[in-house]
Structure 1
Amino acid sequence: MSEQREVFKGLSAAEFFYRNREIAGFSNPTRALYQTVRELVENALDATELYGILPEIKVVVTQDKNDPMKVFVDVSDNGIGVPPEEIPSVFARVFYGSKYVLRQTRGIFGLGIKMAVLYSQITTGKPIYIKSSTPESPIIAEYELMIDIKRNMPIIISERVARKRRKTHGTHVRLCLEGNWQQARRRVEEYIKRTAMITPYATLILEAPGTHLVFKRTTKVMPSPPRIGKPHPYGVDIEMLKHLFRNHGELYLKEFIVTCFDGAGETTAADFLKWSGLRNKKLKNLAPEEIATLSKKLKEYPYWRRPRPVTLSPVGEKLLKKGLKSVLRPEYVAAVSRKPLSYRGNPFIVEVALAWGGEIPAQEKPLLYRYANKIPLLYDEGADVSRRIVDTIDWSNYKVKFPAPLAVVVHVCSTKVPFKGIGKEAIADVPELEKEIENAIKDAARKLRAHITMVERVHEVIRRKVTFSKYVPEIARSLAEITNMEEEIFEEKLFNMLEREVKKTAQFIEETKITTVVKSRSR
């Protein structure tokens, strides 16, 4: 028998993700560069949108002259900024941030930026540079940071504080990492384009080798920001109950349910206790077996109200249309924002838009643009529930014949998006969500069918006008011979009849927002 003994030790959170960086999408230089841009842009958008600030975000990608695989990524925003004392932990301590509340945000764990710092640190040995200021602060703070992987603590390389010369706020971040810009370029450009499409109220700029993209905001209207909410009884488990008990041990069970949960009032809480057979005792006096029973009964009780959508921030039909029109430049857009629903106690809203014609290229199947909490999903499209639904719809029922210039946008917003796998790039097949996506697409498709029908009518009128115009002189001449009247009189009256028909159609087009231009044929 071998005398070698096993050595046991723990890992810090930073060391775990250092060893398993593929979990967060940093699997190779191409994906890591794309992921870094994505994480920084999403942090910038959350730092603006959540506080009612119209986003202005600039991304600059540069390559080292001596080593093209060494890439610098700079992202600056006009957001709320980070207090100076919080900057080291926010940027260089894994699982530290402001997103651990029940509210829709792009990030969930605040992990992405730390993974970018770790990847930068292990591939180039360079620290992250941060320059930030909050709106009310008189100073601007600058830091260079690295992560102590063993202890999961920030290492401050340098820090500097300067007084503001003008009233400004926001954050500028710079990272140096190993990256393949040539291979990542298409993904990064597409990511910025799709982000501009879902946030028409933002100004986004991308400057990189061979690339200069500018998407100026087309509106100053923003979606209402989400508010912090309470958990719903259908989404609790034993550990969540224990966590909630720590701050409410003196409360009685009924009071606890009313105070700490969404979807529960005095009457509902009283009815729940009667239905479940649980006694209304103080939380601190509940035995472990009673906590387990409470968790089970909370999820089984059938009369909780559905979660309120105050924690969500959907884009809205008007902004969806505006975003698609400014980026895709289609002939027509139909948008649908469904009513809030929930799955396993988590509220969600499905939004869909269909863009048709214009500059959209004809394809053998619909172009699909997927979003989760306003985040563009570029990878794993084939595994996404939206792709399957789009492909199973019989589009001929909506007068769409392929190849066709059709783009489908699906946006799911929720406090907990059900992703398929650790990559968080594909949404899973949750029955409630699947049904809503299908219904939303079909709602928008019916609007598209009405548009196509009207366009067909327009084309028919134009065709008839062109056809009849060919015979007007001959008909006028025949009528003149029969009636002994001037040929020009009949020709003028016949052309006027055609013009009235075209004008009626043109008025119909204007009233129904059809963008087809109808021009009368010159006589």
Structure 2
Amino acid sequence: MSQKILGTFDDEKEEDAIVKEENPAVQEGFSEEYIQERKSKAQEMASKQRDISVAEFFEKNRHLLGFDNPRKALLTTIKEAVDNAIDACEEGGLLPEIIVEIIDMQNGRFRIIVEDNGPGIVKKQIPNIFAKLLYGSKFHSLKQSRGQQGIGISAAVLYSQLTTGRPAKIRSKIAPTEPAHYFELHIDTQKNKPEIIKEDIIEWKKDHGTRVEMDLEATYQKGAQGVDEYIKQTAIVNPHITIIYTNPKAEQTIFARVSEQLPPQAKEIKPHPYGVEIGRMAKMLAITQAKTLQQFLMSEFSRVGAKAVKEICENSALLPKDKPSNLTRQHVEKLIKGIKETKLISPPTDCINPITAELIEIGLRKEINAEFFCSATRPPNVYRGNPFIIEAGIAYGGDLDKEKTIRIMRFANRVPLLYQQGACAMTQSVQEVSWRSYGLSQSQNSIPAGPAVVVVHIASVWTPYTSEAKEAIAHYPEIVKEIKLALQECGRKLGLYVSKKRRIMEEGKKKSYIEKYLPHIGAALKEIVGFSDVEERRIHDILKEILEKSRKADGGLGRLSAVNDDPGAGEDDDILGDPSDDMPEDSDDGSSDDSYDDSAEETDDEEIEDEETERGAGQ
């Protein structure tokens, strides 16, 4: 029996050895039950993994799109609808006339109506445009436009659906002879597809255009971050549009256009090599129809000629005749390195349309009651291969508050940015300018105080927002640099005006003091010389007449109107002197920097200044 037991024991040891040999985990001392439990747990976890649609993601993370709170949700909804309406009108070659109406439905709900006179939307596209996230025509297009992600208006529809359960109501008409199509839409968040609740053909007196109607939970408040301010600022930087705005109190305001000229249509461009990273370059090489690397570089990118291709290939140790499909990841890395080492012509700038300094000033004069206005448009520049233009404007004095900090109006592609001011590159740039040189009070690296409104606008084919909500501009050194130069250009004009005004006021005070003493001078002459009362009055009148002639010769306060129209006026006035004498030089002056080095991306001030003087070849 002992032999049998011993034999059984030996057999079990042999089986254990086989199990250990087949399963290394058992060799480490883990039991078979434990191993099976771990496998089962891993399989259970794997079974829970599934695709997440973009609509589901934003359903739970709507704050990323600007729907943080009810007040902001109202602004974001109107902003997205108005931006789409203006873009559609401009692309259709029509002067925009936008109707915006907010109706208080009580119990914290509002009905938003935005209607335009644009070219309309074809029936097939209506559901996808309004009820599918990441669907649009601008994401892959390198040209200036208000929208660029294909999220905005569909995100507003999603928010409306989540907070009220009611569908968005859309009507659109493309021509007087065509019917108007009517849709009621929801978003299927699991599939990120439109769900058509109702579809119909209706009568609509409008010749062409689109009308969007949504109900949502929101809060209406006036103020610097409210809908009223957004509409006003939109009118300032879009002087060619008319907005008919009705607030929840049924108060209607018409912001009439002051320009009958549409902005020139921005042209689409190809990407610039400086803005392409390794992953995107590899993808482009994989799908290109080009037969050779030279063909690829010249056909897929802007401003790359045969000479540039030769230099790129030399710098990257590749041959112009290499087949794009044969290039490995190591080759792509070499190609990117070679591009960075090659000086290339900057991308064309007909893909962006600045507002222009003249129209910025017209817009400011229309909406702000001030005494002095100036503006500036910088030459085009580039960040990461993307062209951009910075513009700035200042309104000063008048009804503006003297005690508070200045108001900063931020715009990107003609769209107001009302939130995240502290996180924006534009605000940082304003703080870094020495405003004391230009007549405003300022603590170190802070927003200055005084009766002024500062406008900053960036126009670009791809605006670098800090988030999907499009509320602030990212801090690229090239962008911050250009904003500061634009502000300094406006600041010099403001400083000239403020200095002249101060000198004229001082001269006025001196003459007022002299006028007070005229009767005493007359009385003294009467006593010393023995003038009669008639002669005393005559002396007083003569002295007063001389004083008035002196005032007229100096120009007086009326001289300021000339300074407002032409900040350089009166610089040779001997009595006023040269106000620039008591204005220190800009620490970051850009008065002679009309060009830039396309390949440079240095952040050091001295290197950028050198770059400024070497521009020109790429313009």
Task: State the TM-score, normalizing by the size of structure 1.
Answer: 0.89
- Find the counterpart in structure 2 of residue 401 from structure 1: 441
Aligned to 1:11: 52
Moved more, 346-355 or 280-289: 280-289
Provide the C-alpha distance between the structure 1 equivalents of 2:338 and 2:169, rounded to a whole number of angstroms: 47
Q: Say if 2:552 is the partner of 1:503.
A: yes
CA distance change for structure 1 residues 450 and 10 in 2, over 3 Å: closer, same or farther?
A: same
Contact 1:371-1:410 at 8 Å conserved across structures = yes
* Secondary structure of the structure 2 residue equivalent to 1:438: helix
Q: Secondary structure at the match of 2:564?
A: coil
Shift of 1:291: 5.5
Give the match for residue 303 of structure 1.
343
Q: Deviations over 1:406-438 (max 9, x none)?
A: 221111222222223444322222111111111
Decide which of 455, 460, 476 is 1:430's aligned counterpart. Answer: 476
Q: Which moved more, 1:18-27 or 1:90-99?
A: 18-27
Aligned-partner Cα distance in 2 for 1:392–1:239: 36
Alignment partners' CA distance in 2, 1:330 and 1:285: 62
Written as runs of structure 1 = structure 2, the 5 A alignment for 1:14-25 is: 14-25=55-66
In structure 2, relative to structure 1, the CA distance for the partners of 1:135 and 1:359 (3 Å cut) is farther
Q: What amino acid is aligned across from residue 131 of structure 2 in structure 1? A: A
Residue 269 (str. 1) matches residue 285 (str. 2): no
What pairs with 1:75-114 in structure 2 (closer than 5 Å)? 75-100=114-139, 101-114=141-154
Segment of structure 1 superposing worse, 204-213 or 479-488: 479-488
Match of 1:188 among 227, 231, 240: 227
Partners of 1:372 and 1:413 within 8 A in 2? yes
Q: Which has the higher contact order (CA 8 A, sep 6+)?
A: 1
Matched residue, 2:81: 40
CA distance, structure 1, for counterparts of residue 136 and residue 547 of structure 2: 68
Matched, 1:170 2:221: no
CA distance in 2 between counterparts of 1:172 and 1:322 reads 30
Max Rg structure = 2
Counterpart of 1:460 in structure 2 is 506
Q: What does residue 325 of structure 1 align with? A: 365
Q: Deviations along 1:90-134, whole A, 9 cap, x unmatched?
A: 111222111121111121112011111111112211111111123
Which stretches in structure 2 are left out of the alignment for 5+ residues? Answer: 1-36, 443-448, 567-619
Alignment of 1:133-212 (within 5 A): 133-135=173-175, 138-162=178-202, 168-182=207-221, 187-210=226-249, 211-212=251-252
**Cα drift, residue 172 of structure 1:** 0.7
| In 1, Cα distance between equivalents of 2:118 and 2:379 | 30
1:439 to 454, 469, 485: 485
Secondary structure of 1:352 counterpart: strand
Give the stretch that moved more between structures: 137-146 or 440-449: 137-146
SS in 2 for 1:129: strand
The percent of aligned pairs where both chains have the same amino acid is 33
Counterpart of 1:470 (choices 495, 516, 531) is 516
Contact 1:235 1:299 in 2 (8 A): no
SS in 2 for 1:454: helix
Task: Tell me the equivalent position of 1:279.
Answer: 319
Mapped pair 1:370 → 2:421:
no
One-letter amino acid matched to 2:80: E
From the superposition, tell whether residues 496 and 510 of structure 1 become closer, same or farther in structure 2 (CA, over 3 Å): farther
For 1:37, give the aligned amino acid. I
Give the SS at the match of 2:186: strand
Identify the range of structure 1 (291-300 vs 8-17) with the bigger mean alpha-carbon deviation: 291-300
CA offset digits 1:372-430 (Å, max 9, x no partner):
22221111212222223323433222222365212211112222222234443222221
Residues in 2 aligned to 1:185 and 1:123: alpha-carbon distance in whole angstroms? 25
State whether residues 366 and 390 of structure 1, in contact with CA within 8 Å, keep that contact through their aligned partners in structure 2: no
Query: Which segment drifts farther, 402-411 or 437-446?
Result: 402-411
Match of 1:288 among 324, 328, 334: 328
